[in-house]
Amino acid sequence: MFRLKSHAAMFALVIGLLFTFNQTARAESWLWENRLSFFSSENAVEACVVTGVLGTAPTGGTTSIMGKRLNRGGVKSTCASAVFPGATINRDYFLYNTHRVNNTTTSPICVTVTLRTDVEINRPNLQVAAFRAPFDGDVTIGYLGDPGESTGSPPQVITFDFTIPANTSVDLVVYSTNTNPLGRGTQYTLIYSSTPPLCTFTPPDLRVTKTHTGNFMQGDTLKTYSINVANIGNSATSGNVSVVDTLPTGLTATAIAGTGWTCTLETLTCTRGDALSAGALYPAITLTVSVAVNAPSSVTNVVSVSNKAEN
Minimum mean pLDDT range among 91-100, 106-115, 243-252, 266-275: 91-100
Q: Would you place residue 191 in the very low, low, confident or very high pLDDT band (cuts 50, 70, 90)?
A: confident
Beta bridge partners of 181: none
pLDDT at 207: 86
- 207: Cβ contacts below 8 Å, ≥ 6 apart: 7, 30, 32, 51, 229, 230, 231, 232, 305
Q: What integer pLDDT is reported at residue 19 of this predicted model?
A: 27
Stretch 51-58: mean pLDDT: 91
pLDDT at residue 107 in the model: 96
pLDDT of 40 over the 50 cut: no
Query: What is the per-residue pLDDT across 101-143, written as a single tens digit (0 to 9) for each?
Result: 999 999 999 999 999 888 777 776 899 999 999 999 999 999 9
| pLDDT value at residue 47 | 66
* SS3 (DSSP) at 91: strand
Per mean pLDDT, which range of 3-7, 81-85, 212-216, 217-221 is the poorest? 3-7
3-state secondary structure of 31: coil
Task: Name all domains of the chain by residue range, CATH numbers in brackets.
Answer: 2-25+204-310 (2.60.40.290), 33-194 (2.60.120)
- The backbone region for 123, taken as left when phi is positive above 0, alpha when psi lies in -120 to 50, beta otherwise, is left
Taking the whole predicted model, whether its pTM rises above 0.85 is answered as no
Query: pLDDT by residue (tens digit) across 269-291?
Result: 999 999 887 778 899 999 999 99
How confident is the model at residue 152, as a pLDDT?
72
Judge contact between 144 and 131, C-beta under 8 A: yes
C-alpha 179/C-alpha 1 separation (Å) is 50
pLDDT of 161: 96
What is the pLDDT, as a whole number, of residue 175? 93
Given this model, what pLDDT does residue 9 score?
A: 59
pLDDT at 74: 83
- Mean pLDDT, the chain, whole residue set: 80
Radius of gyration, alpha carbons of the chain:
21
Q: For a pLDDT cut of 70, what percent of the chain falls above it? A: 79
Q: In this model, does residue 4 exceed pLDDT 60? A: no
Please state which of the ranges 19-28, 197-206, 221-230 shows the lowest mean pLDDT: 19-28
